[in-house]
Structures are given as structure tokens and as C-alpha cells.
Amino acid sequence: MLFSKHALLVPFLARASLAFPTSNSSAPGKHDANSFDYVVVGSGPGGGPLAVNLAEAGYAVLLLEAGQNHTDKTSQQILAFFGEAQFDEEQGWFFYVKHFSNQTQAAKDSKMVWLKPDGEYWVGNDPPGGSTQLGLWYPRAGTFGGCDTHNGGVTVYPSEFDWDNIANITTDASWGHDQMRRYFEKLERNLVVAPRAPGHGFSGYQPIGVGGKENFEKDPQIVAVAQGSAAAFGFTERSKSNNWDVILKKDSNGIVEDRDFHNDAYQISFKKDERGRRYSAANRVSDAIAKRLPLTVRFDSLVTKVVVDEDLKATGVEYLEGTQLYKADPRVQKAAKSNTGVPRSVTATREIIVAGGTFNTPQILMLSGIGPAEELNKFNIPVVVDLPGVGKNLQDHYEVPVIQEFPNNFTLFDGCDLVDGVSPCYEEWKKGTGPYTTLGFTQVALFTSSVAPRGERDLILYGSPDAIRGHLPPYTNFTRFKTGSNKFTFTISESHSRNRAGAITLTSADPREMPDINFEYFANGGDEDIQGLADGVAFARKIFDSALERNATTGEYYPGRDISSQESVREYVKDEAYGHHPTGTASIGGDEDPLAVLDSSFRVRGVKGLRVVDASIFPVVPGTFPLIAVFMVSEKASDVILQDAKRLDM
């Protein structure tokens, strides 16, 4: 949780927020209650916009969502509360993942979660005797809008490589970076840069802005860190300024020469509207419902299987209707049992699109008999298509923090605490001003390590006035760095990790069970990945040292300057790295690639009428934050599907 000092605000603010319907359905289209043109599984950044686009084209679309609609919660609407949203048991799915198969190495992570003999959780390296190693807590969203409702909404445009690589391995030029840029321009409504700035859009559905200089300039310590970033990059004149817009560049996403090779410090761009509120995939769908498009949304619908006929054509899906069905639901974990649900089914006359996300899409495919035959046979699942790549190629962005201590508390959220039922910051937020219109994060630094692939920048350092060690579950013994109020964290994240060894495998044929999730950290290219992150640690320290010269900081809090040799820093990286951007488990690939799950048109190989559109489609994890890349993929998939539909209708 990032902004724990606001925890008491959430119940009050939730009551004060606007009410949204708990279920949505559109005006009836040309379909009955159990037959639609298209069925989309999952309402996140891949499935939500896609479902809207298909409905806007006049097709009857059913959008199935396993969770419920919680867009009325202020923990979703205020981006600075995204940590609260991740902790919310009504919204979240709590996975426990493996970083290493070797449990001895895994136990070196101070964030390791254990289950004690008394059934309680323990976090750390020294669990009580008899405790069982669960894994690293990995929050996902089990709610309308998917992880777009509980993330930070950070939007950093992908590198040219991310698109050109797909174009090259599939020989499909439509994936080239110049072609993909137009999807970003189509969906974006930029609120910051000058009109007609190259590479940006200004009339799309997705508003993108920055935190606002007036919120940051009032804190000299935040300004000093930004000045330190400029100085570390060698921008001496910018480092002397007190003007936020001079110290940090505003636009990290536009078209500039050699963009992917340019190191610089930027204000952080994120998905917020003109009022400073989150605009998520759920909002996109809700807007479509309000327009009475032929779009139906069904909540509490856990998809268990894609139905494939004898001609290998996907014809429908089966799902369970009910609440608290999936065992990633923390309420189910506490009760040690899930509800059974009511079996339902629905048919699609045209296509089915699975957009369940990197963890759940491969699980759905395997439960449907589409995946590695050896894996399916373990659980007596009839093999429909032997597709070895399903669940393989699990990737993430490795991340490690450097936390600095400052002489004074940061003042960004001063006066925000709830007093006598009133929060001044909330009152400002309702007017579209104040610190709640920021993300809480203040800046990003894009940097090239000594081992950067292709020589392009491969690290992003994102900074926040808080102590952020990684993802820690809400109910643990762990004491979180006091409150972090006088701490500042740079989280170093690697854009294109080299590891392809991670995998998601079934643990049961029961769709309510969670799969086994093992990232197999540093199994491929580990030496280079560890060195790249070690370079990032050194650069974060360079920034803080520059701030120290301005008498703004008192010293490093974590991991501590006693960890300074190359060997000790590399060990720190290996033991403590984490991530929160899983991708790749149903990846696009060329015809000759035995692990390719999809072709360049998102079609599942070997099955007609079935596609995948979410973060699982990427052959290489896109840098540096994959969110906007998934929205772009959703727009491209919409074009591809609609073009195919027109050809069939001719």
C-alpha cells in the first residue's frame, strides 16, 4: 500500500462518491439472451475497449466479467489511492507467485509470504517453525475494468522495438512502430502538450495528463530530488531552476528524434481526466452502456471453458454465475472454501475473444483443452489442440527500490487527513485541484544501462515521496518503515528483461483453483539483467547524492550504503527484485515458432473463431509500463476483427 496514511479516508469518501449500477445491460440487439455475435471474456484494457468498438460497429456483444462493478469506490476514482484499491478484498484477487523454483533462494526475499501453522500469514526471512512458503504477494484486480482500476495509470509510450519485433517475427508490416503509433493517437486525449504536438491525440476517449506543478513546487524536498535528477543527467541549468516545468520535461510520449536512445528526466504521465479522476476501461464500457449500444455486461461470471465443436470452431463459453468463486479472491482464501456457482452457457455466432489477462487467459485456454497436451493429460482434460506455448513465456519487468531518508516530512499530502468528517484535499479534488489529482509519484527518469539491448534506454526510475519496498499483503506482521512520511523511493524497473523461462501451469481441472505461477527469475540472461538493475541502483544513488549536496537528504534508508560493492548490490538485486507487469503467456509468433500461441491477427492457432487480446499476447514484455500498449493492442484487434467481419459479410 503506497499511501497508508489515507486509509481511514476511504470508507468516508466511498460513501460520498457517485453511485454506479451493479449490473449493466444495453438495449437489446439482434440476439436472444444466450446468443450474441461476439463474446468477450474480461473487461480490462484488452477486452473492455474492444467490446465497445465491436458494439459501436453495430454487433451484438456480450462482455463477461468475473468480478463486480466497483467504479463507485473512491479508491478507484482517486489515483493516489490505488494502493487502497489493491488492498480492497471486494476488488482484488490475491495471487502468491514464485520467483524461483529453488525455495532456499526464494526465501532470501524479505517480502516472502509464509502460512504459519495457526493459519495466519507471516512476511520475512525468519518465519516461525512449521511455516509453509506461499510465495510473493501479487495483487490483481478481480473487478469490472480489470487491473486498469487499481494500477497507477502510468502511461509511457512503448519503444519502437516493441512493435517492430512483432512485425519482424510475423512478417506482418501492420505491426510496425509507425503503423502502431496511430492507435495511440486515436485513443489519446492529451491534456498537457501543445495542440498538434507530433505523435499525440487530442480527441480520443482516454485522457492523459501530469500531476501539476502547483502540487509539487510547494515542497522543497520534492523539488530538490527533481533537481538532482536533472543534475545526474548533466542538465546543469535545469538543475538550478525551481520551476517544475523547467527541471522536468513534460512529454515523455511524443515523437522526437532518437527517442528510445535519449536519457532524460520527465514529469510522470498518467491516465486522468480533466477533473483529475481515473478514467479506466470500466469507464469506457460504462459510457458505451449509457449510449444504449448493443453491448451487454454480465458480472459475477467466471468463465470455465471455451466450447469448441468438431470442426475446431469456437462456438460459445461456459461459465459459473456467482460471487466469491475463484480462490484468488481473498475472502475465499480466508474462508478456505469457495462458492460453487450456477453453471451457465452462451453462444457466439461470430467469434469469442479471451481477454482474461496474463494469469487467467492461459488457464481458460488450458481448461478448454487448448494447450500443452502433456499438461492437459495430467488432469484428464480432453486435448482439443496441442498448443505447447500456452502458459509459457511468462515475463515481467524486474524492479528494485532505493529509499532515501530526508530531514523533514514531505508535505505533498499535508492537511489531507480526515478531521471531523471533512478532508480538505477531498474537497479540492471534487473541484479538480489539489494533491489528490496527482498520482503521488512525482517523476520518472529514463536511463541507459551498461548492458542495454540494442543500445537503447532500458531502465526507468520512478520516484515517490514514500517508502516502497515492493508488494506486501495487507494482513501481515510486517511493519512498513514507520509511515514513510520522510522517505523518498526511486523504484528501478528494467524495460526488456531477457528471461523467457517463466510459466503458468494448472494445479487442477477445477476452474476455481488458481494456477501455479513461476517466473523463474533470472533463468535466461540473468547476469545482464542483474547488472542492468545494479546500474540503476547506482544512478538512483547519484540522484540522491546530488540532492544531498543541496542539503536536502540525510542518507540512504534502504538497502543502505553498506551494500555498495558490485557483488553486494548484485546480490541485493537478485534477492529482492519483484515485478507487477506480467505478460507473454499466449504470445504472438511466427508460423515456424513452436511456442507461438497466436498469429499476427490474434487468432489462436488451430481453432477458428477464437482470439486473445490482452497483455498475454506480447512475445517480449513491452517497456516500460505495458498499460498503454495493451490499450493500443485492443484498438488494433478491433480493426482486425471488424475487417474480417466485413469480408465475411460481403
How much is the pLDDT for 394? 99
119: Cβ–Cβ under 8 A, 6 or more apart, which residues?
Answer: none
628-647 pLDDT per residue, tens: 999 999 999 999 999 999 99
State how far the Cα of 357 lies from the Cα of 303, in Å rounded to an integer: 13
State how far the Cα of 600 lies from the Cα of 308, in Å rounded to an integer: 21
What is the separation of C-alpha 461 from the centre of its chain, rounded to a whole number of angstroms?
16
- Fill in the amino acid letter for 186: K
What are the boundaries of each domain within the chain? Answer: 35-76+84-91+142-150+282-394+583-649, 212-267+396-498+526-576
- Residue 53 known to bind ligand: no
Using the structure block, give the residue that is written with the C-alpha cell 544531498.
Answer: 548
What is the separation of C-alpha 600 from the centre of its chain, rounded to a whole number of angstroms?
23
Confidence of residue 137 (pLDDT cuts 50, 70, 90): very high
**Mean pLDDT of the 205-232 span:** 95
Beta strands in 506-591 (DSSP E): 516-518, 555-558
SS3 465: coil
436-495 pLDDT per residue, tens: 999 999 999 999 999 999 999 999 999 999 999 999 998 765 544 344 489 999 999 999
- Residue 152 known to bind ligand: yes
336-349 pLDDT per residue, tens: 788 899 999 999 99
User: Do the bridges between strand 61-64 and strand 35-41 make them parallel or antiparallel, or are there none, so unpaired?
Assistant: parallel
**Mean pLDDT of the 319-338 span:** 92
- Residue 151 known to bind ligand: yes
558-567 pLDDT per residue, tens: 999 999 999 9
354-381 pLDDT per residue, tens: 999 999 999 999 999 999 999 999 999 9
Residue 3 has pLDDT above 80, yes or no: no
Confidence of residue 549 (pLDDT cuts 50, 70, 90): confident
What is the separation of C-alpha 618 from the centre of its chain, rounded to a whole number of angstroms?
14
378-412 pLDDT per residue, tens: 999 999 999 999 999 999 999 999 999 999 999 99
Residue 18 has pLDDT above 60, yes or no: no
Using the structure block, give the residue that is written with the C-alpha cell 493516489.
Answer: 80
Q: Which CATH number does 35-76+84-91+142-150+282-394+583-649 carry? A: 3.50.50.60
How much is the pLDDT for 23? 53
212-267+396-498+526-576 CATH choice from 3.30.410.40, 3.20.20.70, 3.40.718.10, 3.40.50.1010: 3.30.410.40
**To the nearest whole percent, how much of the chain has pLDDT over 90?**
85
- Residue 623 known to bind ligand: no
Residue 9 has pLDDT above 70, yes or no: no
State how far the Cα of 411 lies from the Cα of 404, in Å rounded to an integer: 16
Residue 190 has pLDDT above 90, yes or no: yes
412: Cβ–Cβ under 8 A, 6 or more apart, which residues?
Answer: 215, 216, 218, 219, 222, 435, 438, 440, 442, 465
| Phi and psi, residue 241, nearest 5° | -80, 155
Radius of gyration, CA atoms only, the chain: 24
- Residue 415 known to bind ligand: no
How much is the pLDDT for 570? 99
Indicate the pTM of the whole model. 0.95
Confidence of residue 415 (pLDDT cuts 50, 70, 90): confident
66-123 pLDDT per residue, tens: 999 999 999 999 998 998 889 999 999 999 999 999 999 999 999 999 999 998 999 9
> Which range among 74-78, 314-318, 421-425, 628-632 shows the weakest confidence by mean pLDDT?
421-425
